[in-house]
Structure 1
Amino acid sequence: MKITKQVLAEAWQRTAARHDLLTDVELPPVTNSEDELEEWAEHAEESQDGGLCLLIDEDGTVHGRHGPYREVFVTHDLEQVLYLIAEAAIRGRGGSLEETAGALDRIDPAWGRRFRTGGLDDAGTVEACGRDPLEGLAWIAGTWREQAPYTTLAFFRAEPGQTVDAERLALLYGADPAQVEAGTRLRDLRAVDEGRAHWDRHWKSCCYGQAGGWTYLLHHETPPGAFADKEAYAALGIKDNVWLSATSAKAIYTFDYMRDGHRVDDDWDVLELIRYERGRAPYLRGGELEFLNRAVRRAELDHPELTNTFELYFHALEESLGLCLPRQDFAEGEVRAAYWAGT
């Protein structure tokens, strides 16, 4: 059935009438054009549904927006629209995520399961984590927000069964060949340039290695050899890339994911980590990054003790993509390191 304003209004009226938790929930504003949506936004005030509004295209596609520009879902499925309206309304009342899930259970057990999985369907279940998330990638989240140990955390992965050579990668990006050949460690750099001299030169250094099936290269300034030799870079056999970048002076923290040469971002362009709000999926529902929406929700439910959303986010990246960094090696200075050649 093609979704129209009338179809949606009647469907929501029937849904709300059947459940006492929804009887006072009004249908969010529904528009049929961008101009109409912007006009509504100019006069709208914060509402109980968290600012959700809907734009229906001529073909019946429904776009869910928070405000006139931030798109949070796109679907042709009427049942999904009804669920998302209910989810926004229940979550907007406050309370813990378990309380939100419980309320959705009362409306429809399938909706409760769907909320817990973090996706647009309730297919499958996810086992509880059962371990300390700060022993994984999330350990770095706190200091990374202040650009320590490095501004950019870059990860590279090849086809299954293959690895991206960490030394070749570091050399290609501009690491000092002598230090790479010598197997220089982070503690060696610190020992050579003690005190302020090291920290000044630290901005021209990198750390590299392998963990969790990924090769990582951490650095501050743009590497002098970045992508200079495209053929050599292609020969590394890289299939997936993840870049996490921190600009603390501007409070900008970004996430970029490339898979098979395609940027995975649902055409959102720059993805800022700081926009993530606990209890709300950070990426387009049902989009290319739905796997990360699911992982974030599981991190929230598994670890209510974590109040830092960056720690939750990093834990979700570890669970969904396998990203990790060797905490002990960094703490003891055992991670491989080098300055950029000529510095």
Structure 2
Amino acid sequence: MDNVELSAFIADFGPLVGRVEETGERLGVIDDGVPTAVLLPAAELAEIEHFGQRADGGARHRPRPVRKSSFGPERQGPYVRYMHADGVRMTFVRDRAVVAELRSVAELDWLDDRAARGRQGYMDPKQAAAFEEFLARQRPVGDGIAWIADSWRGQDPFTVLEFIKGPPTEDIVLAYGADPQDLADGLTLRQVEERDARDGTDDLNRVLVFGEEAGWTWLGYHDFDHAFSRSLDTPPAQQITLTATMAKAIYDFSYSEDGVYQNPYPLEDGEAETQRDMYELIWYTPGEPPFVPDAPLSFLNPHIRRAEEANEWTGGIPLFFAGLERAFGLSLPRDEITSGQVRCARPAR
């Protein structure tokens, strides 16, 4: 990207705007050698604004006013410059059509970052078709998680299922408030069941069952008395939570990346930090995409569609779980869980 001094740009913007309009390339604007702004085609700005609104988190950078009053329109050749009220941003028009925009470096960096994240969930029709073909060749790793969906809906064997990627499994379990001695002893779910039967205790409903599959730490537990903290000091790279509340017929799903909640509905401008809608699995209808294209969670649609086409499961919740298998490579050890040969821990005393 070429650069031009701010004073030269202000004095003779006409040819520079024409160059940007013709080539479609950005032009940097510097002030005493320091990058301050970027002139870019209006169509490119519209594109990154569009994709940038898909990405959640982070307050938008707004330039502080640098002048008490803004300049009026100024014409140079076929171009008219309109100065924004902040005295930094500028809009350039030719024949009543916007052709270029000037934005501060900080604001454009923010937009570029958000647009890059927003594009991750978008595919044009050709890309989507190629991705569908790729997914068709993939198989879930291990046992997957769809097998547990129906019993989970009945809160058996767990009310809450979580999948966390990032910290080591033992660090996660301890952060959740598990008894370190149970971890050191290698306590299993079967041992808790046998102890309950022998001593008349009720620890089975108050244990945190855990393991590691395909790079994910998985946790299963009941949350009847809030025995576990469900929090980590540093947000993990990825976190998926599935909660069943049978008495209220509420079965919800949530997903976060680096602590940023991925909303199930499109985000309005300025709501990236505040909007946190819940998604209930009973809202999903097989055959219909669960998330609209502009929603942060829309990247799950192709995976869930492929799970439907595979026709391995019936019913909305098992199919949704099968879609999560394909999207994230999730798995739960079926034999170990059903036989009780999985590790667990009681709340720290």
Under a length normalisation based on structure 1, what TM-score does the superposition of the two structures give? 0.57
**Which residue identity lines up with residue 121 of structure 1 in the other structure?**
P
* One of 238, 244, 247 as aligned partner of 1:246: 244
Q: How much is the aligned-residue C-alpha RMSD, in angstroms?
A: 2.7
Report the counterpart of residue 217 of structure 2 in structure 1.
Answer: 215
* One of 186, 189, 192 as aligned partner of 1:186: 189
1:323 corresponds to 2:330: yes
Q: Deviations over 1:221-241 (max 9, x none)?
A: 26545167x6xx32xx72111
The CA distance in 2 between the partners of 1:292 and 1:132, in whole Å, is 15
Which has more radius of gyration?
2
1:264 corresponds to 2:262: yes
Report the CA distance shift for 1:333/1:225 in structure 2 as closer, same or farther (over 3 A): closer
SS at match of 1:334: coil
Which blocks of at least 5 consecutive residues in structure 1 are unaligned? Answer: 1-60, 62-117, 159-163
Conserved in 2, the CA contact under 8 Å of 1:157 and 1:213?
yes
The aligned runs of 1:96-115 (5 Å cut-off) are: none
Q: Deviations over 1:138-179 (max 9, x none)?
A: 011010001111111111102xxxxx2222221221212211
The CA distance in 2 between the partners of 1:215 and 1:120, in whole Å, is 33
The runs of at least 4 consecutive aligned structure 1 residues that moved more than 4 Å come to 129-134
> How far off its partner does 1:341 sit?
2.3
Conserved in 1, the CA contact under 8 Å of 2:141 and 2:330?
no
The CA distance in 1 between the partners of 2:140 and 2:346, in whole Å, is 33
Conserved in 1, the CA contact under 8 Å of 2:242 and 2:254?
yes
1:121 corresponds to 2:129: no
Report the counterpart of residue 206 of structure 2 in structure 1.
Answer: 204
> How far off its partner does 1:202 sit?
2.0
Report the CA distance shift for 1:291/1:197 in structure 2 as closer, same or farther (over 3 A): farther
Report the counterpart of residue 176 of structure 2 in structure 1.
Answer: 173
Report the counterpart of residue 72 of structure 1 in structure 2.
Answer: none
The CA distance in 1 between the partners of 2:160 and 2:292, in whole Å, is 25
Conserved in 1, the CA contact under 8 Å of 2:261 and 2:276?
no
Report the CA distance shift for 1:187/1:270 in structure 2 as closer, same or farther (over 3 A): same
Under a length normalisation based on structure 2, what TM-score does the superposition of the two structures give? 0.56
**Which residue identity lines up with residue 281 of structure 1 in the other structure?**
P
The CA distance in 1 between the partners of 2:141 and 2:319, in whole Å, is 8
Which blocks of at least 5 consecutive residues in structure 2 are unaligned? Answer: 1-49, 51-121, 266-274
Report the counterpart of residue 309 of structure 1 in structure 2.
Answer: 316
The aligned runs of 1:1-343 (5 Å cut-off) are: 121-123=125-127, 124=130, 125-128=133-136, 135-158=143-166, 164-194=167-197, 197=200, 200-221=202-223, 223-226=226-229, 233-234=233-234, 238-265=236-263, 266=265, 267=275, 269-303=277-311, 306-342=313-349
Q: Deviations over 1:115-157 (max 9, x none)?
A: xxx9763421234367699932101101000111111111110
Number of equivalent positions: 214
Conserved in 1, the CA contact under 8 Å of 2:189 and 2:341?
yes
SS at match of 1:298: helix
**Which residue identity lines up with residue 175 of structure 1 in the other structure?**
A
**Which residue identity lines up with residue 283 of structure 2 in the other structure?**
R
